[in-house]
Amino acid sequence: MSSAREEILGRVGRILGPGRTPAATAYTAIERPYLRRHHEDGVLDLFAERTADYRATVHRVDPADLPGAVARALTGSRYAVPGGLPAEWLAEVDPARLAHDPGIGELDGLDGVVTGCAVAIAETGTIVLDHGPGQGRRALTLVPDYHLIVVTADQVAPDVPEALERLDPARPLTFISGPSATSDIELNRVEGVHGPRTLEVILTVRSP
């Protein structure tokens, strides 16, 4: 008896037949008449607005005011922080309130987590983590009930196509659009199931 792999590939090959144009050549013939971006201007405003649409809290601050904004946002007693988070972001927070890269067992008892991100998408109000420096491994931003994300203006891509171009698929990625939610009760969005129920975003934009 042939293996499942050979049998499935064999069937597919027989059905599709020989003499097909090579895949790489045929791929280039796919038409892509859609837009690369839906908005040209006001991308940062759009990002703030679309993220807030998911009932996330969005603050827009000058980079100089970031430490104050972070300190004001953290009203609980103890927060997880990943390695590689710029120290100046936490300059106004008492270090005793911070747990650096805690283990999974410890995460459930913390009030929240503070991270940066890799890319954001204005059109859809999405923030993408690639779990590099300042973002932590995936569990870090999943178990706590509160997530504060700092997004810098240069990280905001206008739309989905450009955001994907900036990302490295070899890394694990998490796309976040608002707090955890469900549509499972009567097909209406309700915030807060397993992921963080509160999402707060600080967008840093240099004042003109």
- The residues in 56-85 that bind another protein, with binding defined as CB under 8 A, are none
Cβ proximity to another protein, 12 vs 96, nearer residue = 12
- CA-to-CA distance for 190 and 180, rounded, in angstroms? 9
- In the complex, what is the shortest distance from the CB of residue 192 to another protein, in angstroms, rounded to a whole number? 6
Q: Which of 18, 19, 27, 95 binds another protein (CB under 8 A)?
A: 27
- In the complex, what is the shortest distance from the CB of residue 108 to another protein, in angstroms, rounded to a whole number? 7
- CA-to-CA distance for 166 and 159, rounded, in angstroms? 11
Query: Segment near another protein (CB under 8 A), from 58-66, 68-76, 80-88, 160-168?
Result: 160-168
Give residues 167-186 in contact with another protein (rule: CB under 8 A): 169-186
Look at the block and give the residue holding tokens 């890799």: 118
Cβ proximity to another protein, 69 vs 126, nearer residue = 126
Instruction: Identify the DSSP state of 81.
Output: E
Element (H, E) at 52: helix 43-53
Cβ proximity to another protein, 19 vs 95, nearer residue = 19
Give residues 84-123 in contact with another protein (rule: CB under 8 A): 104-105, 108, 121, 123
Alpha carbon distances (Å) from 139 to 24, 37, 82, 87, 185 = 38, 32, 11, 22, 27
Antiparallel, parallel or unpaired: β 119-121 and 126-129: antiparallel
Q: Using CB atoms within 10 Å of the CB of residue 105, give its burial: 0 to 12 exposed, 13 to 18 middle, 19+ buried.
A: exposed
- In the complex, what is the shortest distance from the CB of residue 135 to another protein, in angstroms, rounded to a whole number? 10
Query: Is 18 among the residues that bind another protein (CB under 8 A)?
Result: no
